[in-house]
Structure 1
Amino acid sequence: MEFFKSNILLIGLAIGSGIMLLLPSFKKGAGGVPNLSPAEAVTLINRSNAFVLDVRDEAEFTSGHIADATNIPLADLEARIGELKKYQNKAVLVNCQKGMRAAKACDILRKAEFTQVNNLQGGLSAWLEAKLPIVTKAASKKSTASKAASNKKAANDDAANEVS
């Protein structure tokens, strides 16, 4: 008993350190859904061909999103869950702006018996912080326009070659 009284500060420090070491592992699997860093999310997308679900509203989605992401706002998710049934047993990466709405969406998906649901920890903000690329509607239109222009140029070149 004397030992505990004289070393209470060190004992408290040891217990606190232990809790801080274990905290990330508790947070990682909260609600049975892994929280993935942007680097882990890229690996999941590339290796498992993960379906990317963006639960932000349409205006946020249009301003920039992960390539090939599908937008279903959190408010509409339960009503539109049927659209996602084909991904029920596939890897799903859910994201929003900071991670809070995505965590709620993950709960909805888990209740709907989706088996491989993952949350992008920190959301699109963390994705951008990691300097990973996003797609904007303007960029999509621009790339479509540049493809059309290069197709037109190729057609003109072909026509010129046929004439000569």
Structure 2
Amino acid sequence: MKFIIENIWLIVLAVGSGGLLLWQTLQKSQGGAISSAEAVRLINREKAVLVDVSEPAEFAAGHANGARNVPMGKLDGAKELPSNKALPLVLMCTTGARAARAAAQLRKAGHEKAVSVAGGLKAWREAGLPIEKSA
């Protein structure tokens, strides 16, 4: 007991840092945003489906190579989404903000492996990954 009283600040610091590490791990497991590199890994190794939730005009101006366009407002019941809800979904938009909201929406709808790309198309482009434009 004497040790605890004399070293209370060390104990508080240890518990606090452990709590922050646990919180960060839980955030990732709940579908936090992933890097472009992690997105490519999911697509290549786990057959993830890349979905761009931008509006059609934004999608036509430039999108990640191989992405499907399902605008944010049309996610509910979209036929372009895989019927197998166990497949990972990698969501993207111009900046990543809409994709993060879309990922949360899709996780609530049963797509438990829906994640967004941090930084969106901008981060994808900066990573040197392929971009294509629709005609």
- TM tier relative to shorter chain: 0.7 to 0.9
Pair 1:83 & 2:79 matched: yes
Segment of structure 1 superposing worse, 66-75 or 112-121:
112-121
Pair 1:120 & 2:117 matched: yes
* SS of equivalent to 1:17: helix
- Deviation string, structure 1 residues 44-101 (Cα, Å, up to 9, x no partner): 22234432111122343233211011222212322xx23135x121332111233332
Pair 1:51 & 2:49 matched: yes
Report sequence identity in percent. 42
Task: Name 2:61's counterpart in structure 1.
Answer: 63
> What CA distance in whole angstroms lies between the structure 2 residues aligned with 1:120 and 1:94?
6
- Stretches of structure 1 that go unaligned for 5 or more consecutive residues are 142-164
Task: Name 2:70's counterpart in structure 1.
Answer: 72
What is the Cα-based RMSD across aligned positions, in Å?
A: 2.6
Instruction: State how many pairs are aligned.
Output: 133
Task: Name 1:28's counterpart in structure 2.
Answer: 28
- Stretches of structure 2 that go unaligned for 5 or more consecutive residues are none
Task: Name 1:133's counterpart in structure 2.
Answer: 130
Instruction: Note the C-alpha offset of 1:7.
Output: 2.3
From the CA coordinates, give the structure whose radius of gyration is larger. Answer: 1
Which structure has the higher relative contact order (CA within 8 Å, separation 6+)? 2
Task: Name 1:110's counterpart in structure 2.
Answer: 107
> What CA distance in whole angstroms lies between the structure 1 residues aligned with 2:70 and 2:59?
9
Residues 16 and 126 (structure 1 numbering): CA distance in 2 closer, same or farther, change over 3 Å?
A: farther
TM-score, normalising length: structure 1: 0.64
Instruction: Note the C-alpha offset of 1:26.
Output: 1.2
> What CA distance in whole angstroms lies between the structure 2 residues aligned with 1:17 and 1:111?
30
Which structure has more helix as a fraction of its residues?
A: 1
> What CA distance in whole angstroms lies between the structure 1 residues aligned with 2:2 and 2:95?
49
